[in-house]
Chain A
Amino acid sequence: MAGIRTVLLDRARGLPPEHQALIHPGWRRHLVPFGVVFALVALFVFALDRFGFTFARIFGGIEQLGWIIYFMVPPNAEGQFLFFARALGETVAIALLGTLIGAILAFPLSLLAARNVMTNRIVQFMSRRTFDAVRGIDTLIWALIYVNVVGLGPFAGVLAIASSDMAGFAKIFSEAMEATEGKASEGVRSTGGRRSAEIAFGLLPQVMPVLISQVLYFFESNTRSATIIGIVGAGGIGLYLSDTIRTGEWQQVSMLILMILVVVSVIDVISTRLRFAIIGKRG
């Protein structure tokens, strides 16, 4: 077994030098990959040290975690079920309204950022960059800001979801528009249609299925985001979640997580069905 490498290397010695280099490439070629891996590992170890990952802390924490999981079983709402269900309904409502408002606001903005609609390069580029910048702000940050602006409650949550979605939608919508065929718009123009007619009859019918399926995707992921914005007081089930975790009512915590998982998967199923029904195929 140990002979294969030796035999190959022996044979390689008989080869012309340029072929030998291929079989036995030398240490230089390994230098970069090894250097990269070494740097990654070094940074990782540095981070573990900086964040206080010690064996004592990890094992102590895992023991604690074991107790928490032990206390969580079985899930039990302890008489709060109706409150939880109402908060979960509020969560879905926040996600639905936030997604729709975000999509509606994003549509005109996406026209600004689509290369084949907005012929002014500077406006097009600047709006793309702005969307990227706004996308960098997490929903939870928006939620915290809106709590200051419109006060505690689910309305702040709706605005937070709408704000963070708007940029994401605008980016995706404009990319979808750029991917369309120009022929249909050209046809409308050839019959004397104005610019608005071109967009309405040449561009929109092509992008509509993509836009709707994206809205459904966002709705799914927003249901997940909406479960946590309550942590900062922006409505939904998050408030119960953070309160029960802080007070250590673990059976209620596991009940809440279970309810969230069920609702999220139900919404996933519904939205997948809708997507199939609207666009006919996986899109």
Chain B
Amino acid sequence: MPIMAQRIPALAPERAAAIRAAYADVQRAKRLRTLGGLALLAFACLIAAWMAEVSPAKFAEGIPRFFNYFANLVPKIGFATFATDMAEWYWGFSRWMRLLFDTILIAYTGTIIGALIGGYLSFVAAETLTQTKWLVFVTRRFLEFCRTVPEIVFALIFIVAFGLGPLPGVMAIAIHTIGALGKLFSEVNENASLKPVEGVMSTGAGWHAAMIFGVLPQVLPNFVSYALLRFEMNIRGAAVMGFVGAGGIGQELVTAIRQFYYTDISAILILIIATVMLVDIGTEKLRHMIVGEGAH
């Protein structure tokens, strides 16, 4: 092979030096940028630490208390008295389970209401499906508002309007779900094929019929998948609704933490974690069944 045998001509020294210098320049610029970024970050952290009243002394003082606190959470369970110890740890089991059931139900109801309203609005918010530009714009801003204001803030306001209890909790979660699902759904809608819509429209059908028969069958599996994902997040959200008096297990947890009923805290936390995990596993299975492997 003559090509293999050919020697690569040596680079002229001044050319090599120029290339080397250019490389060094690029590298220096890159390093400078990285260092500059890090310096900026460090500066931001210093300001943030000052604003957030971070003090190393307070932190050092807090460390033993921190470990004490978590050590206190562990119940005393003896091997010989296992059954009675467990019974004592979970003394409020039936009551907590009832509240936990309420929490799940709050999440469920909120998710359903949110998915229905958000689902309807998602068609209006899809650029490809709604021709009226201002309507798309207004709907999108509304959805943005719904998901940016934290649900607990909605809950606080709804408690004033509707009174204490799970009802304002459900409505707060529903509003937040409208915003979150409305956006995700509208993205799915925009990816849907327009051919079936044209087909339905060509028979003289109105906008609603075109959406129901042209788009909905294409997007429904994705809708259900996203709604299940949201349901799981809403359970977490519903678990803290009780903090402000909006029903569910949160009320019991907040009392336990404020009154330093250590073993109650751990008992309730474990129940919440177990519930979230079970729902997590369950919804994941369902989602894979509905949209196949590789779901979001």
Instruction: Show the binding face of A for B, using Cβ within 8 Å.
Output: 40, 43-44, 47-48, 50-53, 57-58, 60-62, 64-65, 68, 89-90, 92-94, 96-97, 100, 132-133, 136-138, 140-141, 144-145, 148-151, 153-155, 157-158, 224-225, 227-228, 231-232, 235, 241-242, 245-246, 248, 253, 257, 260-261, 264-265
Contacts and interface: CB of A to CB of B under 8 A. Distances in A.
Given A64-B161, A136-B273, A245-B156, A57 B167 contact: yes
Contact of A136 (B52, B236, B253, B254): B236
A273 to B, nearest CB: 13
Contact of B243 (A68, A151, A232): A232
A53 B44 CA distance: 48
Contacts of B237: 138
Contacts of B165: 51-52
Contacts of B258: 144
Given A144-B243, A231-B244, A264-B148, A157 B52 contact: yes
Given A97-B45, A231-B244, A261 B108 contact: no
B48 interface: yes
Nearest to B235: A136
Contacts of B239: 138, 141
B149 A137 contact: no
Given A43-B105, A144-B254, 10 more contacts: A44-B108, A50-B166, A65-B157, A93-B47, A93-B49, A137-B272, A140-B152, A149-B66, A224-B150, A264-B148
Given A133-B273, A241-B153, A155 B148 contact: no
Nearest to B275: A136
A44 B115 CA distance: 13
A157 B53 CA distance: 11
B152 A158 contact: no
Interface stretch (B54-62, B129-137, B184-192): B54-62
4 cross-chain pairs, A with B, having the tightest CB-CB distances, nearest first:
A93-B48, A61-B162, A136-B276, A93-B51
A64 B52 contact: no
Contacts of B260: 148
A253 B149 CA distance: 12
Nearest to A96: B48
Contacts of A133: 273, 277
Contact of B162 (A57, A97, A245): A57
Interface of B: 44-45, 47-49, 51-55, 58-59, 62, 65-66, 69, 102, 105-106, 108-109, 112, 145, 148-150, 152-153, 156-158, 160-163, 165-167, 170, 236-237, 239-240, 243-244, 247, 253-254, 257-258, 260, 265, 269, 272-273, 276-277, 280
17 contacts: A57-B163, A61-B167, A64-B162, A65-B157, A93-B49, A132-B277, A132-B280, A136-B276, A138-B239, A140-B243, A141-B257, A141-B269, A151-B58, A157-B52, A158-B52, A228-B152, A245-B156
Contact of B240 (A52, A64, A140, A150): A140
A47 B109 contact: yes
A43 B244 contact: no
Given A68-B161, A138-B240, A154 B109 contact: no
B161 A65 contact: yes
Contact of B112 (A44, A92, A153): A44
Contacts of A89: 51
Contacts of B145: 261
Contact of B244 (A100, A141, A242, A253): A242
A64 B152 contact: no
A153 B53 contact: yes
A133 B149 CA distance: 27
B52 A137 contact: no
Contact of B49 (A65, A97, A138, A248): A97
Contacts of A52: 165-167
Contacts of A148: 69, 257, 260
A93 B277 CA distance: 31
B109 to A, nearest CB: 4
B54 A245 contact: no
By CB atoms of chain B within 10 A, which of A47, A151, A253, A265 has the most? A47
Contact of B54 (A44, A155, A265): A155
A154 B52 contact: yes
Contacts of B243: 140, 144, 231-232
B13 to A, nearest CB: 30
B157 A68 contact: yes
B221 to A, nearest CB: 13
Contacts of A246: 156
Contact of A51 (B55, B109, B112): B109
Given A57-B162, A61-B162, A136 B277 contact: yes
A220 B43 CA distance: 19
Contacts of A53: 167, 170
B51 A261 contact: no
B244 A224 contact: no
A58 B171 CA distance: 10
Given A93-B48, A261-B145, A149 B273 contact: no
Contacts of B51: 89-90, 93, 154
A132 B276 CA distance: 9
Most A CB within 10 A of own CB, among B55, B149, B150, B158:
B150
